[in-house]
Structures are given as structure tokens and as C-alpha cells.
Structure 1
């Protein structure tokens, strides 16, 4: 376990690890020596041999001084590694998360990730900075005392050494019971964290349906499972602590019995017996400390396992060879892909989007339309076939090169709890104020900014909570306009907007897609009709393709879809007859 934790130390600090371990070992052995030297000091005092007592006392003082010096060194080195480890490990986790496939995040919630990056890293830091010294000391001091006792009384030494493996077995059994309970507690706590965040973010929905207080069963159940998991963790921990503590006390009684027996046999003096009992108590004290540290140690070990597990998640293979993008085109060549093995979402897709043209993708829900856009942006890698952007396979391009060619506007817009300006600048942090304002004006964000108290510097709240859905879409379009990439991936999201917001967003979309290569998952009839090419997807396959006129003349699936949408667009509520 300790090897696994030390393996997480950042590379620039690994040279300090041997120094830390050396300081801990030296401190522990010095402490054991100080305890053992108590025997000749007491013997000399009881024999009134002050010269011999001072001789051994000076050696004891030297051992105590060594304890202080090495204690200071291990504390300073451990703290330096611990602080650097927290920063380095969190940076490493952040870099690893940045390199994971984007689709990975769709199956992993924020709660467990937050616990790993914040709480588990803090536990590992504490292990290095403070706990490691106590753990190793609680092992090395008794071991040093037991071995040193060979030169004083071998019987007590043998009793100490025989007790060690039994204590190890008891501790191992307690570890197994604790590990399972701790993992269940972590899962329950992560779920509760996610539910609390959800509860805070979804207040309007929860209140509108009366799902607050007793009505919010999801949060109540998650908190109840967390309480239950904590209780099970305590019940899994306490028996091991009790048994371990009882056995440690039993070992001490055996050592006292042996020491007293040696006095009764006349083998040692009463002074030596007192000293042996005192040293035995010093042998027992670290073992008791080990029992008390057991829970913290096991928790840190579980934290290290979770951090190591996250770092072991396979990264999206990254191309290292720079490429020069060609014409802004998109090509799907016999592409198949599924989120789960054996369950393809798209199958054998082959089509091309020439530079400067617009391709509309239509079809029923679940046909694979949004998946198609995700494959272009390399949220996932295809199972077979090839997706090419800018005349190069997306897998052969560094991520920065690929994403610099793409502007993405999806249905679910996420805005950070920062200013409007900061949210627009996400794609181009170095954009000038003039460039930002031009993009904002083209997307009609200036209309929003004019009524905000601090204009562009107004914070929009978590997820953009202070803005409406249409306003968030306008900010996302301004963000894409500022990036000014040659290829636009657009998952139109105007169907849920009011007429004014829809008209404003549509104007922004027109500005965004002007003279660009566009793939749009289309919902609006006007967008579909003016596309250079229309793909009708069903069951992950292209069942029809062509222009709007060609497909209507064909009178197939697309024609049925168009007629149905046309009828729906004229739908209205009629007053009930009186």
C-alpha cells in the first residue's frame, strides 16, 4: 500500500522520498535505542554506580537528541512532499481528465470525481505529510525494541517477536472488513453529493412539481443510504479495533509475567525487572497507536486505490505528428459506432460534406443524429471506418488541430459562473474587446447585455441560471462566432424557444454559418429546405439522401417527415364550444 502511495508522488519530488524514509527509520531506531538504554541506566542507579549511570545516560541523551533531529527532518521533508503532492496530483488528475474521451464524462457524474480530486487527494497528502511517519514508527520502534532485547533478555525478545505475526494477521482481517465497507460508504457518499448538487440546481423543477422536502425521495433515499453505509463502516471497524487492542494488552501482560518470573528465578535484579517492564510498555505503546491509526491508514489506502483507478482510465489516443488541415470538408467512410458493445448506434455511414456546403441531418429520435456530430468532434472513436475533417482522419490529428477547425453549438448549453464576456471568450481567451463585441452583436447578445447590471462583466450564475434558454443559446453562438472556425456543427435547439427568441437565435445561426461548412441536426423547416444536402437517418443508417426538391419528388420517408412537420407548424389551440 505504501509503495502504491509513494508511486503517486510527482516526479520532481521523488528524490525526496528516500530521504523521508531514511529520516523516519533513523528516528524510529533512535527512539527504540533510547527505550533500551533505560535498562542499563536503571540498573546502574539501583547499584549506586553513578559513573556507569552517567555513561549510559549520556548515550540515552544522544539517542533522544537523534530522535529530535531526525523528527524535525522527517516532518520538514514530509510536509514538503505532501504539499507538493496535493498540487502535483490534482494537476495530474486534471491533465488526465482533459485527455479522456469526451464521451467518458457522459457516464460519470460530478460527485465521485469531486470526491476523488479533492477529498481523496487530501487523504493521500495527509498520509505522506503526517500519517506515514506514525505508521512506520509504530512498526519500527517495537521491532527495534524486540531485536535490541536479544542482547538483554532473549525470552522477552522472543515473546515480542512471536506476537508480531499474530498482530499482523488480526490487522489484515480488520483491513478486509473495512475495505469493503469503506468502498460502499464512498459510493453512497458520492451519490449523496450528486443528489445535493442536483437538488440545488433543479429547484425550479422540484418546486413546480412539489418534489421538495418529503417529496424529494431521490435525495432522501441517497442520504439514508449514506447514513446506513457509515453505520456499516463503524460496525466493520469496531470489532477489529477491540480484538487488536485486547491482544496488545494480553501481550503486555505476558511480557510483565516473564519479567517478574526472571526476578523470582533470581536471573535478574529487581531494578532490571522494573526496566524491562518499562521497556515493554514502550514496546506496547506504538502498537496501540497502530490500532488507532488503522482506520486512517485504511481510508488513505482506499483513497489511493480510487486515485490510481482514475489515472488508469484509458486515454483517447493522441496523435503526436502535426498535420496541416486541408479544405474544410467532412467525410464519413463506412463508419460504424455503438456506445455499448454489440449495440451499434450508427452503421456503415458513408457521405461527404464538401467545403462551404450545408448538410442537414433529419430523422426520428434515436436515429443517431447527435452521435454523428459527436464523432466528427471526436467525443468518441469509431468502431470501424473513418471520419475525416480537413482531409485528415480525426484520429491522426492532435486534438488542438481538430478542434480549432470546429465550432460546436449543441442543444444543451453550459455557461460557467463567470461574466458574459468570459463565457464568450472560452474559445479565444486572447480576443480583443472589439472582436468580442462584434461577435456579441452578431449573435444579439448586446440586447441581453444592455439590461444586465454590469453589462458584459455580469456573472451569469452556475450553468447560466440567470439567463433564459434562448439567451444562453445566443451566448453560445457568440462564443462560436468569436472562435470563427471553418466548420460548424450545429444541433439546432430552437424548437423549445418562444417566437422572438427563436427569430433572434436563427439570425445568429445564419451569421455563424455564413461561408462555412455546416452539418446541422435540423428541426426547422427553413433550415432543412435550404440545405445543399439532406440525410435522412433511421436506425443509424442513411435511408434517403438528396436535396429538398429531390426528396419531396421521391415521396418517401423524408416527404412523410416534411408533411408531418408542415402540419404540426400550423397547429393551434381552438376555443372550446360554449
Structure 2
């Protein structure tokens, strides 16, 4: 467990962690040794001069005071190291997740990451603060007490020691028998969490379909699977818990019988027998707690394994000697890219000269959004190269690459903060005048004027308190504030009302001015503004040229144009 903690968190935590383990071990030993003073105390009390017990009672009190001090220091150290590790784990996990390729974030990852980043990290990092101390005490204190028993009477000491391998064997057997159940329970928890999130996200769909009174079958099924997995996990732990209890009780009974026999034979006195029985009873409590502590440690170890798996996932590699792009031209050079089992691009080539606008058109699933993601290096290509300023994006430092690119997505996500805070995501160090200018250029100022809180209006989680058009204006203001020389647009007006669409188009025009632009376009009004157009289908560039050239050819683009123009010829 310690080695795994250090592997997940890093070697910088080795010294405080080992110091805390040493303190906890010393505390457990001090507790066990303090019980040795019961022998002279009881001898004096049962002897002819009970007053002789006072020095030993004082010594016993001092020993327990020392134990209390050590316990306080070790527990405090455990909490401090635990909180430090918790903070470090959140930082490391967050930094690593930010470096993973976007393609890694599949739909199934949502529940897994939600569990890991919330109770999973708390469970794993809580080992130092809540579990390691009790576990060391449950393991070391009984062994120390057994050593004390051996010092006073070797027969009773050996009888107590005989239980140690049995207890260890039960713990190992229980851990192995529960491994599969723990893994299944974790998988079911992840799935159920994902279903809960899905259930919340699809509320508009369920309500629109008049199904608000119905149960959500997928969620119910996943919760039933959690219940079944929990039942199986509990049943698999039951034999170990019962076996441990029987072993401890058998040990205590054996010591009682052996102690009585030795006392009757005159080999030991009554004080020693009573002391041994007290020590044996003190051994029983921590040994019985091993079952519960062991289960919690196995759960924490399972979480650590999953965290380790995530942290071992390779991010996109950074160049050892990064190159600087020469200008802002874009190029796809014989690019091939697969996503899962699907080939998205096969030997695709195109170029966008600096300062020009390229519109990407094609049917759904043609790879338009993926093209933008490859330009921004959300994925690495399988063959060929994506170049910015004549340099392969894989040879450019990620921060330097992203500093040159502003992206406006169709689905805008806003953080649960104020409008100003969300705009500043584009450039946190911008001054107030620059933020206001970006908002005005995106025509966001007119939205802010009618909001009760103005600039300090909270947008809600995901921007839920703003309309789709208002969220787009915030996104455009964010991109304007960034002032990057390359702009990638993933059709930002496809679901807007006419008023918001006009405002967003005006903001987009200001954003595109003088920049290299690649825009995924569905509306032909957007395509007309492009210098060149490519028509994608099935991961291949079917046609390429200016808008007028492609119309004149009467090919796929012309058909697409005519179909798109039919419901709104005035566009």
C-alpha cells in the first residue's frame, strides 16, 4: 500500500509518509509495552503489601501518558500528511487529465472519472488520516503484547503466538476471495454514476416525451446491478469475518484453559494469570477490527490501482526541442486518422494560407469537427502531418500551439462563475478595458445591460442561466480577448434564433478579421465569406475550390448548396 501510494503520488511524499508510519508503529509498540506493567501492579495488589502497588501504578500512568502523547503526535502527523497528499493528488490528477488527448474522454469515462475525482480520491488519500494508524495498531499492538506474554510465560506466549499465522492466512484468503467482487462493485458504481448523470442530462427529453412519471429503465437496471454486486461482496467477506472471530475467540479460550491449568499446577501465580487474560482480551479487540479495516484498505487499494491506471495513461508527447512556427498558415499533409475502429481520414491533404478563410462543408459524420480537433492537436494523426506555420504540431510546445489558436465550439460550456470570469478564460491577465472591448465586439454588452447583476451575473453550471445565443456571445468574447492569429470555428450559428444569429455573425466577422480561419459550416451564408471551400465526405476531400468554382462544377458541393438553399432561398 505504501509503495503504491508513493508510485501514484510521487517520491516527494516518501519522507513524511515514512516518518508518520514510524510514529504510528512506535505508538502501537508503546501501547503494547505499557500493558507489561500490569504484572507488578497485580502482583502487589494480590500480595501481602498492596501499598507496594503505588510506584507501579504511577509508572503505569506515566506509560499511558507517553502513549497518549505519541498517539496525538502520530494521529496529527497522519492528518497533516493525508491532507497534503489529498491536495497533491487532486493537483496531479487535474494536471494529468488536462494533458490527455480528447479522444480518451469517451462517454463511459464520465461515471468513472466522477467517482474517482470525488469519493475515490478521498477514499484513497484518507488511508493516512483514518486507516493506516488503526491498521498498524491492530497489527503491531497484539504482536507486542504477545512478546510481553512470552517474557512472563513462554507457554502462554507461544499459545497466543500460534494464532498469528491463522489470522494472517484468513486476511490473505479474504482479500483474494473479495478481489473479483471489489472490482465488480467498482465497475457497477462507475456505471451507476454515469447513468445518474445521464438521467439528469436527459430530463428535457423525458419531459418532452411525457415520461416524467416513468422510471428510467437504464438507471434502475444499473442500480439493481450495484445492489447485486454489493450483496455478493458482502457475502464473500462474511466467511473471513466469521473465521477471524472464531480464531480470536478460540485463542482467548485456549489461553484461559492453559492459564487455569498452569495456575492449578503452581507454575504461575494468580496475578500472572489475570495479567495474561487482560492482555489476551486487549489483543482481541484490535484483531477483530482487522476485518473491517482490511476491507476499507482493500477498497482504497482498488481506487489507487484505478488512479494509477489513469495516471499511467500516456498524454500527447511533448517535443524535446520544440520548434517555433514561421507564420500562421495551416496544412494537412497526407493525413490518416482512425478513431476506434472507424477511419475518419485517409490520406487527406489541404492547405490554408496565412490570413485566408477555409470553409469545411459536408454531410454529418464526414469528419469536419475532427479536422478542427486535429489542427488543435486534440489527437495525434496516425500517418502524415498537421502543420502550423510550416512546423508539425507534434514539434510545437502545447502551450505555444494553443496560444496561437482560438476555438469557438458549437456547444459552449461556461463555468459556474460570473460573465466576466468566463470571458477572462481567454486571457486571465487582460485588463478591464480589454475585457470590456472584447464583450462589446461580441455584442455581449447589450446582454449584460439587461441582466440584473450586470458583469457580476452568475451564469450557472455550464452557462445554464443564459440562452444558447448569449453563451455563444460569451464564447466569442473569450476568443476575441485571446487575440490568437488562428481561429477555428465549429458551426456556431446552427441552432440560433435570427436575432442572436445576426449578433453572433457580427462578432464572428470581427473575430475572423486578419486571421487564418478554418470554419465548419452548415449555413451557406457562412460559406460565402470563405476564400476557399472543401467538401468532405467519408474522410476524403471530394471537392476543393472557391464557392463560385464549386457551384460551376455542378458536383457534390453544388448539390449540397441547392439542398441547403431550398428552405431559405434568401440566405
Q: How does 1:15-164 map to 2 (within 5 A)?
A: 15-48=15-48, 60-164=60-164
Number of equivalences:
571
Contact 2:45 2:51 in 1 (8 A): no
CA distance in 2, matches of 1:42, 1:162: 26
SS of 1:543's equivalent in the other structure is strand
Distance 2:321 2:453 in 1: 45
Which residue is equivalent to 1:576? none
Secondary structure in 1 matching 2:317: coil
Q: SS in structure 1 opposite 2:343?
A: coil
Aligned equivalents of 2:450, 2:226: Cα separation in 1: 44
Offset at residue 408 of structure 1 (A): 0.6
Question: Which region of structure 1 is more displaced relative to structure 2, 502-511 or 344-353?
Answer: 502-511
Partners of 1:556 and 1:287 lie apart in 2 by 80
- Cα distance between partner residues in 2 of 1:522 and 1:163: 75
Q: Counterpart in 2 of 1:318?
A: 318
Q: CA deviation at 1:10?
A: 6.2
**Other-structure match for 1:377:** 376
Distance 1:442 1:8 in 2: 46
Partner of 1:443: 442
Measure how far apart 1:518 and its partner are. 0.9
TM-score by length of 2: 0.93
- Within 5 Å, give how 1:160-171 maps onto structure 2: 160-171=160-171
CA contact 2:6–2:13 (8 Å) conserved in 1: no
**Which position in structure 2 is the counterpart of 1:433?**
432
The match for 2:391 is 392
Q: Give SS of 2:324's match.
A: coil
1:306-341 CA distance string (max 9 Å, x none): 32222222222123545433211111111111111x
Alignment of 1:79-478 (within 5 A): 79-319=79-319, 321-340=321-340, 343-478=342-477
CA separation in 2, counterparts of 1:257 and 1:117? Answer: 53
* Mapping for residues 496-535 of structure 1, pairs under 5 Å: 496-535=495-534
The alignment yields a C-alpha RMSD, in angstroms, of: 2.5
Residue by residue over 1:362-420, the C-alpha shift from the partner in whole angstroms, topping out at 9 and shown as x without a partner, is 22221111111100111111112111113321111121110111111121111122222
Give the Cα separation in 1 of the matches to 2:120 and 2:400. 34
Structure 1 residue runs of 5 or longer lacking an equivalent are 573-578
Answer yes or no: is 1:4 the counterpart of 2:4: yes
Question: Is the Cα–Cα contact under 8 Å of residues 34 and 64 in structure 1 kept in the other structure?
Answer: yes
The CA deviation at 1:490 is 1.0
Q: CA deviation at 1:147?
A: 2.8
- The SS at the match of 1:218 is helix
Measure, in 2, the Cα distance between the counterparts of 1:272 and 1:458: 75
347-356 or 532-541, which moves further after superposition?
532-541
The alpha carbon displacement at 1:84 in A equals 1.4
Q: Is 1:549–2:551 an aligned residue pair?
A: no
With the length of structure 1 as denominator, give the TM-score of the two structures. 0.92
Cα distance in structure 1, aligned partners of 2:153 and 2:215: 70
**Alpha-carbon distance in 1 for matches of 2:28, 2:2:** 17
Cα shift at 1:561: 2.1
Pairwise CA distance, 1:74? 0.7
Deviation per CA, 1:4-41: give whole Å up to 9, x if none: 23555565553222321222222222222222332344
Is the 1:9–1:81 Cα contact (8 Å) retained in structure 2?
no
CA shift in 2, pair 1:58/1:127, >3 Å? same
Supply the distance in 1 between the matched residues of 2:123 and 2:81 (Cα, whole angstroms).
13
